[in-house]
Every structure is written in C-alpha cells, then in structure tokens.
Amino acid sequence: MPDLSVLPVLMLVFVRCSAFLVTSPLFIIPGIPTVVKSGFAFLLAIIIYPLVPAPEAPLEGFWGFGLMVASEAAVGLAMGFIVTMVFNAFRMAGQLIDMQIGYAMSQMMDPVSGSLNTLMGRFFYFVALATLLSMDGHHGLIWGLVKSYQVLPLNVASIDGGVTNFIIRAFADTITMALKIAIPITSVLLMVDISLGVMGRTAPQMNIFMLGFPFKIMLGLVSIAILLPLMGTIFATVFDQMQKDLLLLVKGFS
C-alpha cells in the first residue's frame, strides 16, 4: 500500500513551487498552457520533496492545513515578485531610453505584462530573459527555491514588518537599478540634446527638430549596439544579487 501520509507535505511543497512559478518571468508568458505550468510545478515538487525537512508542527485539522497552504502560497508569491521586480528593472531602463531616443510615442500592448510597453522596454526585457537562460540562471532560481525549504521549513512562515520593509526596499532598488542601466545611453542622448540646442541658437534658420529626431534615433541605436555586449557583467551581477535577495526574503519570513 502506498504511504498516503506524504501527500499533505507534498501538497505544501507543490503550493510554494507553483506560486513561485506563476509569478516568475519564465512562466508568466500567456502562451504557455496552464497544464504545462501545473505539470512542471508538480514535477518540480516531486523532485524537491526528498530534500525538504519535515514540518516542525503537526498538520492537524482542515482549517490549520488551509492556513499552511495560504502561508506557503504567500512565500512563493513573494519570491516570484522579487524575481519579477528584477526583470521589470530592465524593462523600466528600456522605457527611460525610449523617452530620450524618441520611441516613447510608439507604445504598444505587451502580451507578457498585459500593459502598454515601449520598443526598447520589450527589447531589454527579452535580452535579460535570454541572458538568464544562457547563463543557466534558471538553474539558480531552482536552487534558490530548494534552498528556501532549508532556510524556511514548512509551516514556520510568519509575515511581519521586516518582510514588508524588504519588499519596499526591493521595489526602490528596482528603480535605482533601472537608472544605472539606462544612464550610459541617456547621457549620450542628453549630450546630443545639448549640442542640438547650441546649434539651434547659432543657426536659427535650421530645423533642429527634423534634424535631431532621426539623428538621436541613429546615435541611440549605435550606443545600444556598442554597450550591449558590455552589459553581460551587469546582468551577471544583477542575477547574483537576485539570488541573494531571495534568501534574505525567505529569512525574513522565519
């Protein structure tokens, strides 16, 4: 006879895994069927289950088990939120560049985020996603999920002010990170604006708007092409910090 006593613990593991995957950038794409997402989360839960310590408190009662499920779902959603914030930083950096380069007027509906997004915003988002996969960052995310069960065992999570402050700080760090990524290119475009302004004062008969619009687009794209190969180090640093933030977040729940 199979041992059915493992089902409640396996269910708790599955809840944290599925909540994490639902909010992670790798599985937030609407084109992926729900059956595939659920099946991968269940397969991942089966693989992780032997590595999960036994719950410190007994699983008693329907309402008690329901609270445990809600607690594990909150932990998984918070971890996925941190990962999503990192990728939103790259999207925000692209949007800041679009405001300077002139692409902000060409906003379009992004099916991934379900909101209006700019060209460079989508470009930087998918570049970051491709870089994560090429650097085996998805393995790092799975490792962080496994490590979370060792740092925060089942049925011990608690939400306090420390977790809230950490999430707020992560949101603020997202804006700071976006500014750091966009500053090199926006600085070049700012120098172009200053140069065009000087030209407009010295030669008022020139149509600076018609001259500057295609020139800023050309120089902005050239700057992105030159700096993009150098951003691999930035991506590696950001993804490494993302894994550390996941562990710090999980420690805040304990």
Written as one string, the DSSP assignment of 187-223 is HHHHHHHHHHHHHHHH-TTS-HHHHHHHHHHHHHHHH
pLDDT per residue as tens digits for the range 203-250: 677 676 677 777 787 888 888 888 888 777 777 888 877 877 777 777
- Entry field: residues in the chain: 254
Q: Provide the terminal-to-terminal Cα distance of the chain, rounded to the nearest Å.
A: 36
What CA–CA distance (Å, rounded) separates 13 from 99?
43
Instruction: Kindly report the number of other CB atoms within 10 A of residue 70's CB atom.
Output: 12
Segments making up each domain of the chain, as ranges: 6-253
pLDDT per residue as tens digits for the range 17-63: 888 888 877 777 666 777 877 788 888 888 888 877 766 655 566 67
| Cβ–Cβ < 8 Å for 16, 73 | yes
Query: Of 117, 126, 114, 127, which is closest to residue 96 (Cα–Cα)?
Result: 117
pLDDT of residue 72: 81
